[in-house]
Chains A and B, each alone.
Chain A
Amino acid sequence: MDSIEKTVIDILKKYTLNPSVWDQYNASFNLTKDLKINSARVVDIILDIEDAYDISISNAEIEQTRSVGQMIALIEKKTS
């Protein structure tokens, strides 16, 4: 697993209440549907990612980021 994916998963794990949601994990997992993350927490996840990578993510970008894979792609784009 590359390091961005690992960092993202570590951040997401703070917001998943039931560890078993990770059992069948793949990068297409949706944050709210598959990982059962409270939708109010998505903004907290974005703040954590902004701090971890010293990047800025717009509201429009947040709206287009629904899966773990999309989140990783966004970070790769912003940090390349």
Chain B
Amino acid sequence: MKRRVVISGMGVVAPNGSNLDSFTQSIREGKSGIRKIPELEEKGFRCQVGGVPRLEQEQIEYLASLGLDEHSAYLSYALLAGKDAWLDGGLPVPDPESGESDPQSGIILGTGFAGIDLTGNRLVPAVDSGQLRKIRSDLVEQVMLNAPAALLTRILALGNISFCNSNACATGTDAIIMAYEYVTSGKAARILAGGADGASPYYWALFDSMRILAPNHNHEPERASRPMSATACGFVPAAGAAMLMIEDAETALKRGAKIYAEILGGSMNTGGQRQGGSMTAANPHGIESCIRAAMKASGVKPGDIDLISGHLTATKADASEVALWMKSLDLDRKSFPYIQSLKSMTGHLLGASGAIETLAAALQMSGGFIHPSINCEDLHPSVAEIIPRESIPATCLSYSPRHMIKASFGFGDVNACLVLGQFKA
């Protein structure tokens, strides 16, 4: 019999909350984490706002105790979120001197852009100026893509898979789906899965120069991330990490772990850059196939989906995404469930976006609420043509979604979709 797989621990470092408690409070209250970033203004970015986590003093001290001189941002966020997810899952952090690693526990931790901040600040200047002695051994642990996963295996004594995936904005959702499939197949009892990306002008510039970041709200940062709004003008770049413990339901129950939600099915695909798809645009047929495959794998009927956590970044793709949800779920205007965009509060966490949005989904399922989507008071007419405005809660609702569906779409025409359900033993 196929193993059941649950989310049994979570940790997050977000622009609007540096830990799980403060993040939960922020998303209930509709609190934005978007702020003015002076460095972006100095460098002449069109978009001068972003979502950057503010770490607590104890988090900064914890990172210092690990002995890395200067952490790249994605590594810091990933280490904190990974450790928090492990502790939230009720598992102890082993003694650093303990003898053996745990062959039943692994990690899949993805990133879109890894340590590009320290690559730009330390590595490139040292090499270009011929000062190779300035490159110290900690730098490789800061910039290699699998560094956060590898450091967490050491801290938590993990002995199963240790892996870093990268798939643009689908990265975080992919990591969770891969962990789910790994645990379902019996290869591991539990896998910490999620994603992390840091804040750096060195890669935010890529998007700013493509003119897909929001340039019109530099004077009002909290209103800058506007998914589904008539005045949406691009996404707001953001940084952070989210890690989820993806565990065999049986071992989670045996341990008495808190269970947030059950993962019922997932799907990953690409549109192959055909039928309107390109490196930067999605093939709509690819998205539809991905959503349909995830639904089929889950065995959930479209009418039983109570809430959609969209990709919804605040670009012109929002309306076509909403239309694709309608089509792929075989629903109509009357039967359409609630839909939300976490990015309205956090901005777009890129390689971590799918992980933090799945984490928010699990929080809502276990906490019995639906968080607001802010900044779409002026609903885009193309969205309003498809769904009623009541489908997009503007304030926090007390409501327990039975099933949720979450999708992420990334550059490269890649898609990932997963279905969650309330867990009943």
Interface of B is mostly: loop
- The answer to whether the Cβ of A7 comes within 8 Å of any Cβ in the partner chain is no
Please name all residues of chain B whose beta carbon is closer than 8 Å to the beta carbon of A28 when the two chains form the complex. Answer: none
| A17-B137 in contact (CB<8A) | no
B267 to chain A, nearest CB (A): 40
Q: Is B67 an interface residue (CB 8 A)?
A: yes
Cβ contact within 8 Å between A47 and B136: yes
Q: Which of B's residues lie within 8 Å of A, judged by CB?
A: 65-67, 133, 136-138, 140-141
CB-defined A-B contacts under 8 Å, sample of 18: A15-B67, A17-B65, A17-B66, A17-B67, A38-B67, A40-B137, A40-B138, A40-B140, A40-B141, A41-B137, A41-B138, A43-B137, A44-B136, A44-B137, A44-B138, A47-B133, A47-B136, A51-B133
Residues of B contacting A43 in the complex (Cβ-Cβ under 8 angstroms): 137
Chain A residue numbers with a CB within 8 Å of B65 are 17
In angstroms, how far is the closest chain B Cβ from the Cβ of A16? 8
* Residues in chain B near residue A40, CB distance under 8 A: 137-138, 140-141
CB distance from B256 to the nearest CB of A (A): 32
- For residue A47, which residues in chain B have a CB less than 8 angstroms away from its CB? 133, 136
A contacts with B: majority SS: helix
Residues of chain B within 8 A of A51, CB atoms compared: 133
In the assembled complex, which residues on chain A have CB atoms less than 8 Å from the CB atom of B141?
40
Contacts of B66 in A (CB 8 A): 17
Q: In the complex, A26→B208 CA distance in Å? A: 57
Q: Output the residue of B137, B138, B140 with the most chain A CB within 10 A.
A: B137
Contacts of B138 in A (CB 8 A): 40-41, 44
In the complex, A36 Cα to B186 Cα: how many Å?
A: 36
A74 to chain B, nearest CB (A): 19
* Shortest Cβ gap from A2 to chain B (Å): 27
B67 nearest CB neighbor, chain A only: A17
In the complex, A41 Cα to B139 Cα: how many Å?
A: 11
- A52 shortest CB reach to chain B, Å: 13
Q: What is the CB-to-nearest-CB distance from A47 to chain B, in angstroms, rounded to a whole number? A: 6
Contact with B along A31-68 (1 / 0, CB 8 A): 00000001011011001000100000000000000000
Across the A-B interface, give the 6 residue pairs with the lowest CB-CB distance, nearest first: A40-B137, A17-B67, A44-B136, A44-B137, A43-B137, A41-B137
